């Protein structure tokens, strides 16, 4: 079994040249409940980002023990806190001492200074992974584009497309593209906070055709939002945020205004937990 | 009896705001910036700067927060978004002079925040959309191996503690911010202005350091935190100015005189408390409500942080020293391991019996890390009470419950014996 590098942080670029050929998996959206008698859970504030919580509980449970390295992508929402908490829990002896944690601090800025800084960060990660075996470079972008095109054409259910994307991230393999479960009804877009379970998607499959999934992972970004909504003939944009969201809600009024201008119905489901259960969902679209 | 310098500080800020309005009416541009940004850039240039969190506290203190927060929710911003850093935006979206402190402010000429919280770039993007002002978001690359006792190395040999790559980035971004500010202001920063400013700030923060130590060493609390805060923070918003330096001296001398007189906020002082987190701006009277139990709030972060958070030897490179100051400025107060270690150090220095920690669930960067802080304090033998509250949202404040929780904790401390 190849040495695994686990990545945490929304949007972490699995296919970045620094990681090319390495066996990587993205653990950002994996759910973890506390282990019995967890010593970590009482230290996590109830409003902690749900993905950060799951990551830390996974760390305590030893879920990442087989990895040679855990890389935390600074740019991901909440990721710096995941790193800070993980380090502190380790300092306190509350989580296993291995695997090594590494903060991938890239800024993504366009200035010369930002590029120089990012280069130092990439070099540090490259040095850490220098001894790890590398295999062939996978084409992840191609299958994702095919999957997105099929979703835009209404050839696949929203839940299956999301499951393909989640699985691709969790395994590090290219996304499956086979289609099934075509649905009918109004053409939907889903936006707002990232989700970790497909409950909402399965519910949406009963409400219409999810032709644009903007909550990720691997959100299509070739075109501006307005153009994507128009090109895909979206009739209803479904909005939701996690009950402790402090980020995505900032975009709600502007998204609502855009929908109003385009004649798209904006449906706000309110607070939907990232790892939703059916109890969290209404019976039909409000 | 309050210190005379307390009223002087409040009057200075009121007059400054009035004069600012006059300068702005005459066409001068001002910067609107978060508290954890390098305000020194604007001070060195002589460009007025309004600090987001200060303005937020003023809106809350004027009991205007409910009006603007309610309106923000009607506009589609959900009610669990951060409020402390967003209240001025919501007030600006309202725009009516009658619903702003002192009639409000015109649109800024420049906006600046640091990506120290995930939501700050989004809040300031809304500001930019509203005002059309140019926006600079400074990077906030995380420290990969923070030392718990950050306050010691950061005062002088900060290069290794901060990290050269992060400093290089921050210096470049401060230089870029300076260039933008100069363009907006239409003038250049005078040669040597930043170095001179940094030297005066150093003197100012050393005065605050002395004052904090005087208060820590006093047998009983000589001045309430509700007085400490304006005497520190108003000069901090104008740090390095002649007035700020003079005021820091006045404050230190006034505290020293009060201690020499043997004055005490609570003659029957039996329990010393610390308030952890930003101020409860809409109800600062809360800090005095336990004095009949012999309990005083002897500490809030603002005075001691003026020293530990700001003193950075310049080593002949004031802009790099400024970068070392701001690069983790807010993070030191909230994130593990920094925040726990610092609050323990301060609690021991001030002989604290009970820590009251504000936990703002809807201001996650401020709420995060509070359990780690409580754990560190508990391990140091200091009791803690967690209060669910927001710094500026009076709507969610359950004052009776908070009073009961703190009062019961004081009783427990008294029963246990100091």
The string of pLDDT tens digits covering residues A256-279 is 999 999 999 999 999 999 999 888
Q: Do A84 and A19 share a structural domain?
A: yes
Q: Determine which helix (DSSP H) or strand (DSSP E) holds B185, and give its type and residue range.
A: helix B164-185
- Tell me which residue in B126, B361, B375 faces A250 most closely, judged by beta carbons: B126
> Does any CB of chain A come closer than 8 Å to the CB of residue B169?
yes
Instruction: Tell whether B39 is covered by a domain.
Output: yes
- Nearest CA-CA distance, residue B9 and chain A, Å: 34
A9-16 average pLDDT score: 97
B316 pLDDT exceeds 60?
A: yes
Question: Which residue does chain A place closest to B335, by CA atoms?
Answer: A84
* Nearest Cα to Cα of residue B387 among B375, B372, B377, B402: B402
pLDDT tens-digit readout, B118-150 = 999 999 999 999 999 999 999 999 999 999 999
Instruction: Tell whether A165 is covered by a domain.
Output: yes
A256: Cβ contacts below 8 Å, ≥ 6 apart: A239, A266, A268, B76
Question: Which residue does chain B place closest to A46, by CA atoms?
Answer: B361
Percent of chain A's residues with pLDDT above 90: 91
Instruction: Tell whether B253 is covered by a domain.
Output: no
> Does any CB of chain B come closer than 8 Å to the CB of residue A93?
no
pLDDT of residue B400: 96
Instruction: Tell whether A285 is covered by a domain.
Output: no
pLDDT band at A2 (very low <50, low <70, confident <90, very high): low
Using CA atoms, how far apart are residues B169 and B140, in angstroms rounded to an integer?
10
> Does any CB of chain A come closer than 8 Å to the CB of residue B2?
no
Q: Do A173 and A258 share a structural domain?
A: yes
Asked whether the beta carbons of A196 and A30 are under 8 A apart, the reply is yes
Using alpha carbons only, what angle is made at residue B7 by residues B6 and B9, rounded to the nearest 5 degrees?
A: 65
* Nearest Cα to Cα of residue A217 among A83, A73, A119, A82: A73
Instruction: Tell whether B377 is covered by a domain.
Output: no
Asked whether the beta carbons of A241 and A272 are under 8 A apart, the reply is yes
Q: Do A235 and A122 share a structural domain?
A: no
Instruction: Give the range of the structural domain holding residue B169, as residue numbers without chain letter.
Output: 20-185
Instruction: Tell whether B385 is covered by a domain.
Output: no
Last residue of a domain, one of A129, A153, A177: A129
pLDDT of residue B18: 87
pLDDT tens-digit readout, B350-404 = 999 999 999 999 899 899 999 999 999 999 999 999 999 999 999 989 999 999 9
Asked whether the beta carbons of A28 and A7 are under 8 A apart, the reply is yes
Instruction: Tell whether B372 is covered by a domain.
Output: no
Instruction: Tell whether B366 is covered by a domain.
Output: no
Helices (H) and strands (E) in chain B, counts: 19, 8
Asked whether the beta carbons of A241 and A192 are under 8 A apart, the reply is yes
pLDDT tens-digit readout, B211-253 = 999 999 999 999 999 999 999 999 999 999 999 999 999 999 9
pLDDT of residue B173: 98
B66-95 average pLDDT score: 95
pLDDT of residue A105: 95
Instruction: Tell whether A155 is covered by a domain.
Output: yes
pLDDT tens-digit readout, B279-294 = 999 999 999 999 999 9
pLDDT tens-digit readout, B169-225 = 999 999 999 999 999 999 999 999 999 999 999 999 999 999 999 999 999 999 999
A8-19 average pLDDT score: 97
How many CB atoms lie under 10 A from the CB of residue A277? Answer: 10
Q: Give the count of domains, chain A.
A: 2
pLDDT of residue A235: 98
* Cα B124 to Cα A280, B113, B184, B192, distances in angstroms: 32, 7, 18, 31
Q: Do A124 and A100 share a structural domain?
A: yes
- Tell me which residue in B81, B176, B375 faces A43 most closely, judged by beta carbons: B375
Instruction: Tell whether A136 is covered by a domain.
Output: no
Asked whether the beta carbons of A51 and A274 are under 8 A apart, the reply is yes
Using CA atoms, how far apart are residues A173 and A167, in angstroms rounded to an integer?
8
Q: Do A162 and A92 share a structural domain?
A: no
CB A49 to CB B364 under 8 A? yes
Cα B68 off chain centre by: 22
Using CA atoms, how far apart are residues B122 and A249, in angstroms rounded to an integer?
10
- Nearest CA-CA distance, residue B374 and chain A, Å: 9
- The two tokens of residue B133 are 């002002």
- Tell me which residue in B82, B337, B359 faces A91 most closely, judged by beta carbons: B337
CATH number at residue A116: 3.40.50.11890
Instruction: Tell whether B255 is covered by a domain.
Output: no
* Nearest Cα to Cα of residue B279 among B397, B378, B381: B397
pLDDT of residue B359: 97
Percent of chain B's residues with pLDDT above 90: 92
Relative orientation angle of helices B318-326 and B164-185, to the nearest 10 degrees: 110
Q: Do A151 and A26 share a structural domain?
A: no
B260: Cβ contacts below 8 Å, ≥ 6 apart: none
Cα A123 off chain centre by: 25
B414 pLDDT exceeds 60?
A: yes
pLDDT tens-digit readout, A76-99 = 999 999 999 999 999 999 999 999
Q: Do A112 and A152 share a structural domain?
A: no
List the single range of A191-195, A207-211, A217-221, B111-115 with lowest mean pLDDT: A217-221
Contacts of A114 in chain B (CB under 8 A): 139, 169, 172
B222: Cβ contacts below 8 Å, ≥ 6 apart: B214, B215, B255, B258, B259, B263, B264, B265
pLDDT of residue A135: 95
Instruction: Tell whether A134 is covered by a domain.
Output: no
A285: Cβ contacts below 8 Å, ≥ 6 apart: A207, A208, A236, A238, A267
- Nearest CA-CA distance, residue A122 and chain B, Å: 12
Using CA atoms, how far apart are residues B54 and B237, in angstroms rounded to an integer?
8
CB B141 to CB A105 under 8 A? yes
CB B176 to CB A251 under 8 A? no
Contacts of A92 in chain B (CB under 8 A): 375
pLDDT band at B418 (very low <50, low <70, confident <90, very high): low
Question: Parallel, antiparallel, or unpaired for β B295-300 and B354-359?
Answer: unpaired
- For residue A60, the SS3 value is helix
Instruction: Tell whether A222 is covered by a domain.
Output: yes
Instruction: Tell whether B293 is covered by a domain.
Output: no
CATH number at residue A196: 3.40.50
pLDDT band at A31 (very low <50, low <70, confident <90, very high): very high
> Does any CB of chain A come closer than 8 Å to the CB of residue B380?
no
The DSSP secondary structure of B330-368, one letter per residue, reads THHHHSTTHHHHHHHHHHHHTT-SEEEEEE-TTSHHHHT
Instruction: Give the range of the structural domain holding residue A52, as residue numbers without chain letter.
Output: 5-129
CATH number at residue B90: 3.40.50.11890
Q: To probe the interface with A, which of B71, B73, B75, B80 has the most A CB atoms within 10 Å?
A: B80
- Tell me which residue in A74, A243, A249 faces B141 most closely, judged by beta carbons: A74
Q: Give the count of domains, chain B.
A: 1
* Average pLDDT, rounded, for chain B: 96
pLDDT of residue A222: 84
CB B82 to CB A84 under 8 A? no
Q: Do A10 and A123 share a structural domain?
A: yes
> Does any CB of chain A come closer than 8 Å to the CB of residue B50?
no
pLDDT of residue B74: 96
A47 pLDDT exceeds 60?
A: yes
Question: Which residue does chain B place closest to A85, by CA atoms?
Answer: B336
A211-228 average pLDDT score: 94
Q: Determine which helix (DSSP H) or strand (DSSP E) holds B116, and give its type and residue range.
A: none
pLDDT band at A3 (very low <50, low <70, confident <90, very high): low
B196: Cβ contacts below 8 Å, ≥ 6 apart: none
pLDDT tens-digit readout, A136-190 = 999 999 999 999 999 999 999 999 999 999 999 999 999 999 999 899 999 999 9
> Does any CB of chain A come closer than 8 Å to the CB of residue B126?
yes
Q: Do A180 and A68 share a structural domain?
A: no
Q: Do A212 and A95 share a structural domain?
A: no
**For chain B, first and last CA: distance in Å?**
28
> Does any CB of chain B come closer than 8 Å to the CB of residue A90?
no
Q: Do A148 and A258 share a structural domain?
A: yes
CB B119 to CB A44 under 8 A? no
Q: Do A94 and A15 share a structural domain?
A: yes
> Does any CB of chain B come closer than 8 Å to the CB of residue A15?
no
């Amino acid at each position: 079994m190849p040495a695994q590098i686990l990545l945490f942080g929304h949007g972490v670029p699995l296919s970045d040249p620094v990681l090319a050929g390495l066996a990587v998996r993205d653990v950002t959206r994996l759910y973890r409940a506390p282990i019995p008698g967890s010593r970590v859970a009482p230290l996590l504030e109830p409003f902690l980002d749900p993905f950060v919580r799951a990551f830390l509980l996974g760390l305590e449970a030893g879920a990442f023990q087989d990895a040679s390295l855990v890389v935390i992508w600074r740019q991901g929402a909440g990721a710096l806190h995941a790193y800070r908490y993980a380090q502190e829990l380790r300092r306190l002896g509350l989580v296993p001492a291995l695997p090594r944690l590494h903060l991938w601090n890239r800024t993504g800025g366009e200035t010369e200074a930002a590029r120089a800084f990012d280069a130092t960060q990439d070099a540090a990660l490259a040095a850490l992974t220098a001894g790890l075996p590398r295999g062939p470079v996978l084409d992840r972008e191609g299958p994702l584009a095919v999957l997105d095109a099929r979703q835009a054409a209404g050839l696949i259910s929203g839940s299956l497309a999301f499951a393909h994307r989640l699985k691709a991230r969790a395994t590090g393999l290219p996304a499956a593209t086979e289609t099934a479960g075509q649905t009918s009804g109004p053409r939907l877009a889903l936006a707002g906070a990232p989700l970790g379970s497909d409950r909402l998607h399965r519910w949406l499959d009963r409400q219409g055709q999810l032709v644009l999934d903007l909550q990720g992972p691997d959100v299509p970004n070739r075109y501006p939002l307005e153009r994507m909504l128009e090109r895909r003939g979206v009739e209803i944009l479904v909005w939701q945020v996690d009950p402790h969201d402090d980020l995505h809600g900032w975009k709600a009024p502007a998204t609502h205004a855009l929908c109003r201008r385009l004649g798209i119905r904006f449906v706000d489901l309110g607070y939907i937990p990232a790892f939703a259960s059916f109890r969290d969902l209404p019976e039909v679209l409000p | 009896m309050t210190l005379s310098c307390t009223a002087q500080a409040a009057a200075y800020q009121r007059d400054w705001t009035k004069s600012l309005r006059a300068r702005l009416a005459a066409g001068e541009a001002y910067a609107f910036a978060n508290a954890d940004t390098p305000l020194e850039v604007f001070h060195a240039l002589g460009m007025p700067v309004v600090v987001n969190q200060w303005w937020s506290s003023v809106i809350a203190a004027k009991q205007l927060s409910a009006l603007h927060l309610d309106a923000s929710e009607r506009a589609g911003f959900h009610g669990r978004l951060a409020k402390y850093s967003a209240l001025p935006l919501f007030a600006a979206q309202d725009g009516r002079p009658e619903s702003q402190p002192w009639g409000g402010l015109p649109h800024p000429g420049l906006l600046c925040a640091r990506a120290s919280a995930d939501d700050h770039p989004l809040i300031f993007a809304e500001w930019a959309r509203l005002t059309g002002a140019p926006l600079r978001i400074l990077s906030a690359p995380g420290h990969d191996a923070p030392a718990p006792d950050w306050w010691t190395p950061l005062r002088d040999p900060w290069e290794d503690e901060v990290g050269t790559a992060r400093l290089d980035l921050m210096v470049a971004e401060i230089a870029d911010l300076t260039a933008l500010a100069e363009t907006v202001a239409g003038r250049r920063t005078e040669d040597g202005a930043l170095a001179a400013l940094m030297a005066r700030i150093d003197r100012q923060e050393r005065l605050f350091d002395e004052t904090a130590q005087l208060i820590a060493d006093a047998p009983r609390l000589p001045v309430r935190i509700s007085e400490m805060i304006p005497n520190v923070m108003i000069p901090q918003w104008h740090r390095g100015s002649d007035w700020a330096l003079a005021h820091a001296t006045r404050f230190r001398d006034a505290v020293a005189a009060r201690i020499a007189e043997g004055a005490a906020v609570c003659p029957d002082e039996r329990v010393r408390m610390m308030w952890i987190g930003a101020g409860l701006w809409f109800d600062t009277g809360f800090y005095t409500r336990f004095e009949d139990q012999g309990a005083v709030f002897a500490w809030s972060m603002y005075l001691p942080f003026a020293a530990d958070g700001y003193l950075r030897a310049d080593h002949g490179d004031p802009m790099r020293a400024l970068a070392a100051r701001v690069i983790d400025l807010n993070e030191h107060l909230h994130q593990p391991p920094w925040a726990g270690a610092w609050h323990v150090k301060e609690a021991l220095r001030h002989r604290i019996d009970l820590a009251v920690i504000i936990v703002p669930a809807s201001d996650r960067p401020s709420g995060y890390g509070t359990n780690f802080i409580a754990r560190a304090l508990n391990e140091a033998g200091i009791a803690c009470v967690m209060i669910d509250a927001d710094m500026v949202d009076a709507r969610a404040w359950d004052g009776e419950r908070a009073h009961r929780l703190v009062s019961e904790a004081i009783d427990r401390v008294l029963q246990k014996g100091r």
